[in-house]
Amino acid sequence: MNASAWNMLLEGAWTTVWISAVSIAIGVVAGLVIALIRLARIPIIDQLLVLYVSVARATPLVTLALFIFLSAPDLGLDLNRSVAGILALTLNTTAFNAEIWRSAFRNFSREQSEAAMATGMTPWVTFRRIMLPQMVITSLPGLVNEMSFLIKGSPAIAVIGIVDLTRVTNRISAVTYEPLPPILVAGALYMAIIGCLVWLQRLAERRANRLAM
């Protein structure tokens, strides 16, 4: 491969990274919010959130990306490809993250929260100082696993014209008629991205363990 191919691969990798990172950041926070709302069991809202989670988890990313991008003009929305791709990835990962957070909430020891309240802590302080650090620790493996799936599933957004790492690989292969080198490089880049994610998980776990002490 020549320098131009390498440059294209790096640009495609950067596109994959920043779109996935934005979707992950929004999805983790939004999933936490949805989990909290569902635990409150607010009538109608809870049923709507259950429906959203079920539909988003069952819908393939390719279908979701196409639906958002093609239906936006009919709704009077002018979405560019990047925004549509981020929205599709975010809607998908938020649903999975919400279930991961909800499971952590349901498995949290009620005795700990009752003990914290007995010492005079407010519900917010109990949540921030006692519950959240421990739930982050227990949820991190599931959250990072979902992040990995999202990154590996991100090529689905190429269907709406986003030139990500996988699409760049296909373009180079079509021009050079040598598919193996760009595929191997793309695989190595995906492994490096996931490796960085696992490394960040370890740092976050250490930080959360210090907060929980």
Q: Which two tokens stand for residue 79?
A: 């979405």
**What local confidence, expressed as pLDDT, does residue 12 receive?**
92
Domain for residue 153, yes or no?
A: yes
* Residue 177 belongs to a domain: no
Report the CATH number that the domain containing residue 127 is assigned in CATH.
1.10.3720.10
Query: Is residue 206 situated within a structural domain?
Result: no
The whole domain housing 51 covers 18-166
Instruction: Count the alpha carbons within 13 Å of 37 in the hemisphere toward its beta carbon.
Output: 16
Listed as ranges, residues in the chain with pLDDT below 70 are: 1, 208-213
pLDDT score of 2: 78
Rounded CA separation 107/115 (Å) = 16
Q: Is residue 1 part of a domain?
A: no
Distance separating alpha carbons of residues 6 and 9, to the nearest angstrom: 5
Rounded Cα distance, 114 and 133, in Å:
16
Question: Is residue 69 assigned to a domain?
Answer: yes
How far is Cα 38 from Cα 110, in angstroms, rounded to an integer?
17
Q: How many CB atoms lie within 10 A of CB 46?
A: 14
The pLDDT assigned to 121 comes to 77
Residue 213 has what pLDDT? 59
pLDDT value at residue 208:
65
Q: Whole-model pTM?
A: 0.87
Predicted pLDDT of residue 39: 84
Q: What is the rounded CA–CA span in Å between residue 124 and residue 134? A: 15
Rama region for 161: left / alpha / beta (φ>0; ψ in -120 to 50; rest): left
Does residue 5 lie in a domain region? no
Q: Which two tokens stand for residue 77?
A: 């929305």
* pLDDT tens-place string over residues 106-157: 877 777 777 777 777 777 777 777 777 778 888 888 999 999 999 999 999 9
Nearest to 80 by CA among 72, 23, 153, 17: 72
Q: How many domains does the chain have?
A: 1
* 29: in domain: yes
Residue 176 has a pLDDT of: 84
Residue 102 lies inside a defined structural domain of this protein: yes
